[in-house]
Structure 1
Amino acid sequence: MTTIRLLAASGETSDAALNDSGAYARPVASLQSRVAYAAAHVVPKAHADNTPGRPADIDWDATLAFRRNVYSWGLGVADAMDTAQRNMGLDAAATRELIARSAEVAREEGGSVVVGVNTDHVDEERIPLQRVIDAYVEQLHFTEEQGAGPVLMASRHLARVAESRTDYLRVYAAVLQQATTPVVLHWLGTAFDPQLEGYFGSGDWRDASGTLLRIIAENPGKVAGVKMSLLNAESEITVRAQLPEGVRMFTGDDFNYVGLIGGDSLNSVPERAKRDEGHSDALLGAFAAITPVASAAIQALDAGDPARYLEILGPTEELSRQVFAAPTFYYKTGVAFLAWLNGHQPAFQMVGGLHSARSLPHLSRIVELANASLALEDPELARERWHGMLRLNGVDA
């Protein structure tokens, strides 16, 4: 029996049986029952100066190959979003190049790509509302020119200067009127970015959701969907039930996605989702970490087999909770770590040195849960790489 070495927070080691991979099959046709995007990360050149504050030096071959792999499993790509280290190392020039290159790959692969639109190319900390609008529109127009779908991300600039929900209504209306294609609105919670406290005019999601829903109602035809990343299933279910017809809910809840995506198709759903009607689609960083598993689960829904969906995807939720554990904004480290273990990048390196943001015991738990949920695509390769990392850090493996 082949085993894999694990490291506890106490420093003690143990061994677990190394499971076979899930051996899932790529879909032979488009996924039908859910729209699903994997929010993809970026891979830096391993020899680059990947230290905090340095411009991102991207390994474009590995970065774009990762996106091609996502498309091969039938998922779409959500790019230049927080998973790609927006506001955490991905500078404005690298962001623009990523959007252009990713959109080109989507055309070549026949895949669907949406990308983040923000105001983060503006260096000043505080700018007036009109400059927030102008900054959003500048990125929006660039995104549309590349042929990618826009995701209107939450803006730190807007969070700093907005004095009431009226300011949010004004900014979003002005930006949406400039959009030539319907956009996805992104509500990113403070677990992901503490600087977004009080977004949409309130720290209470019930009040803030009223602003979000009013933005959609007052700009008919301009919003294709909402991505909610509050790590709160109740808030997503409540907002989803109030969305106008034709506006999708894309779950960004990396803690509770199994029940939210499954929805009514599940024979047995968690207590939190029993009053749910319908389902959420997906736009998840977690799906970049478990792409083959996510694809296989949706294929099971397409086949009318919700029990198989739960069997496949259910175990990954504990893995995702570990990847996204507090401080949640360091989840990108776990996504890149799994990409390295699974052979999608040559080194465990991240822009801005973020590969150092999680401890070895934290990463060991990711290994343990990925092994248990059959999310290691090549278990022997993952074992070899992980054991090498342990030895490099003085742990006998």
Structure 2
Amino acid sequence: MRVIRWSLILMTLVSVMADTMLLPFYPQFFEESFGVSDPAHAGWYIAACCTTVMLCFPLWAKVARRWHELPLWVVTQSVSAVLGVMCYLTESLLTFWIVSQLMLMMKASYLLIYPFAIRLEGTGKIGGFVALFAVLMHIGTISGAVLGGYLLQFWDGRDAYLVMIASDLVQIVICIALMLALKIRLTEPGYTPAEVADTPRSPMVMKLAVVAMLFYFSVFLIRPFFTLYWADISFAPWNGEFPSSLVYAIPAIIALLTVVWQRIKAPQLTSQQLLIRGLLVILVGLVLQGLGDPLWTVIGRLIFGWGLFMGVVHIEVLLFAHSRPERFGEDFSRVHLGQNIGIILASFAAGALVSDVSHIAVFAAATAGIVAVVMVAWRLGVFARTAGPEEPDHSIKDAEEAIS
């Protein structure tokens, strides 16, 4: 079990780092690689990426009922590596759009790592494992943003696809090694369709999907053009791509420090209480970032990072608290659908706001969005405590125990 756990951790880190390198820099990437300077184009592309993943992930979850996840990932990662080579070589914008979306269709299967790992771990440490994967996502985001900024400033944005290809190859090797060690067969699912059908579905799952949609819409509004916003309000030498990537990564760094602090002093609050606190902290962070001052923006990023981590972790803790192992993949795909709808809408809205109004308008819209999240979550009963024998340990302190 420990070998599987560490292998999944490594796969998650590698994939997140590689796949998020260009996320803060798509406006610069399209201008440098294809001569497209319209900021709305980057918003449309990010929206298309989210749509592709959103539609394909539930399909991969159904495929995983028949095929074991490990051989499935070998196939999808192999195809992804080939498509990554085509993305690196093409000089046609249309070809890049088509091939990159096909590549994301394959990469959508990677999301099965999350419910697969939690299903293996069992329900006893769901809170800790959710926090662990949130930390892994943030570590990958930090590494990806810094590496992406470095490539764009000192090399070529296309080189990011070479890193993606290398990450696919690393994951293929890991999966094959695990298959050989565990003697995994191709058609060996972790659960049967009959077991899924016999498991009741919680109505709270769809409520959390709605909350996740509004939450991710709000927090993702400021992402696509944040590095451009920082370049506008800062001054040399802090307005280059590499320094911008460091400021962009501040929330991820704060997430890591939050885990360290809560390892020392574990919170004595429920996930519902921590979610409310996180949303209120996000509001403060958004207001400070939208003041247009570099110092207040950095302070706002620090505050925003803490709230963002609390929001992401405890929405998912509540999801798995209301789900069952047989439905983890299916229920997670529903909440993930809500997340991606929010991200898609945010991509469209961010591009329109930046083009027609200003960068600061994005922060105002995001603030209003978080207020809406609080109101809707309260109305749907998400903040109401639901204690029971199946309720997991919500302490983030378990994150370290989950990998020990």
TM-score over 0.5 (shorter chain): no
User: Which structure's residues are more often strand, by fraction?
Assistant: 1
User: Which structure's residues are more often helix, by fraction?
Assistant: 2
Instruction: Provide TM-score, normalisation by structure 1.
Output: 0.28
Instruction: Provide TM-score, normalisation by structure 2.
Output: 0.28
